[in-house]
Amino acid sequence: MTDKIDINIFNDLRKIIHAGEHWYTIQIIPGHENMIQKAIDGLKLDKLLEVFIPSIATVREQRGKKINVVNRLVSGYIMLRISDIDKETISAITRIENVGKFLGERGRPAIVADEEIEALKTQIEHREKNFIDMKNTFNVHEVVKIISGPFEGFSATIESLIPNKDALRAAVSIFGRESLIELSYSQIKKIENS
């Protein structure tokens, strides 16, 4: 009787585990997500089913102009859905400039659960929807009532919206002096006209 595991059985087991469609994560140099996505798409890999960069698209006002901003949820990582991953696919992707490696152990990419990717997508959808809802609800220069936190009961004037934090900056008069504070949307409400 031998205590050694037959390497062929081990390799066959790895192939079974990685057979089918799974999500994997590659580590990249932050800020190069779009360039790397284009490079991956350009490879035209049959096994590559989807490229997912977790990010939230928002609009920000800068110098009086509205600009579109993409905020990365996990900067430096791209998720890939690949069917029947193999060494050739891994090699083709990791040879792209600014791509580090697949996350995993000992050169074997780790599978990311579908539920984790769906949770990320749901979080992004929820945050974008909430930002749009809140942005449409509150306006810059609008006076609001603070309903929680250390300034509860104070009135504040909205100075700017902070899209990547789902928050805003508002001016509050404290001891006769204006001070800028950061508030979340849940800490304020509209002042009802009577």
Q: Which domains does the chain have, with CATH numbers?
A: 7-136 (3.30.70.940), 138-190 (2.30.30.30)
- Burial class (CB within 10 angstroms; exposed 0-12, middle 13-18, buried 19+) of 184: middle
Cα gap 1→26, rounded to integer Å: 41
Cα gap 49→46, rounded to integer Å: 8
The pTM assigned to this predicted structure is 0.59
Give how far the C-alpha of residue 78 lies from the chain's centroid of Cα atoms, to the nearest Å: 10
Tokens of 39: 């490079």
pLDDT band at 4 (very low <50, low <70, confident <90, very high): low
**Contact yes or no for 66/59 (Cβ under 8 A):** yes
- Quick check: helix, strand or coil at residue 76? coil
Digit-coded pLDDT (tens) for 43-88: 998 899 999 988 877 666 666 666 777 778 778 999 999 998 889 9
Phi, psi at residue 136, to the nearest 5°? Answer: -75, -20
Digit-coded pLDDT (tens) for 99-113: 999 998 887 899 999
